[in-house]
Amino acid sequence: MNHLKSMTMSEIGAVLKELGQPAFRAKQIFSWLHKGVRTYEEMTNLPKSLRDTLAEQYPINAPEVVRKQESQKDGTIKYLWRLSDGNCVETVLMRYHYGNTVCISTEVGCRMGCAFCASTLGGLVRPLEPFEMLDQVLFTQLDSGLPVSHIVLMGIGEPLDNLSNVLRFLELVNSPDGMNISMRHISLSTCGLVPKIDELAEEQLQISLAISLHGPNNAIRSRIMPVNKAYPIEELIPACRRYYEKTSRRIHFEYAMIRDLNDNPAQAKELLALLKGLPAHVNLIPLNHVEESPLKPSTKAAVAAFQKILEDGGVTATVRRTLGSDIDASCGQLRRKYNRESDTADQQRK
Say if CB 64 and CB 79 are below 8 A apart.
no
| Contacting ligand SAH within 217-276 (CB under 6 A) | 254, 256
Interface with ligand SAH includes 290 (CB under 6 A)? yes
| Contacting ligand SAH within 45-84 (CB under 6 A) | none
CA 191 – CA 171 distance, rounded (Å): 22
**Applying CB under 6 A, what is the total number of residues that bind ligand SAH?**
17
Q: Which stretch binds ligand SAH (CB under 6 A): 63-71, 85-93, 271-279, 284-292?
A: 284-292
| Contacting ligand SAH within 139-168 (CB under 6 A) | 154, 158
CA dihedral of 28, 29, 32, 34, whole degrees rounded to 10: -110
Using CB under 6 A, which of 191, 205, 268, 329 touches ligand SAH? 191
Interface with ligand SAH includes 331 (CB under 6 A)? yes
Q: Minimal distance in Å, beta carbon 48 to ligand SAH? A: 44
CA 204 – CA 222 distance, rounded (Å): 30
59 three-class SS: coil
**C-alpha triplet 149, 248, 168: angle, nearest 5°:** 50
Q: Which stretch binds ligand SAH (CB under 6 A): 3-11, 17-25, 73-81, 185-193?
A: 185-193
Quick one: angle between helices 233-247 and 194-203, nearest 10? 0
Sheet of strand 251-257, all strands in order from the earlier edge strand to the far edge? 64-70, 77-82, 88-96, 99-103, 148-153, 186-190, 208-212, 251-257, 280-286, 316-319
Set 64, 311, 331, 341: catalytic member: 331
Set 88, 90, 107, 191: catalytic member: 90
Q: Which residues are catalytic?
A: 90, 331
- Site residues for ligand SAH per CB under 6 A: 114, 116-117, 154, 158, 189-191, 212, 254, 256, 285, 287-288, 290, 330-331
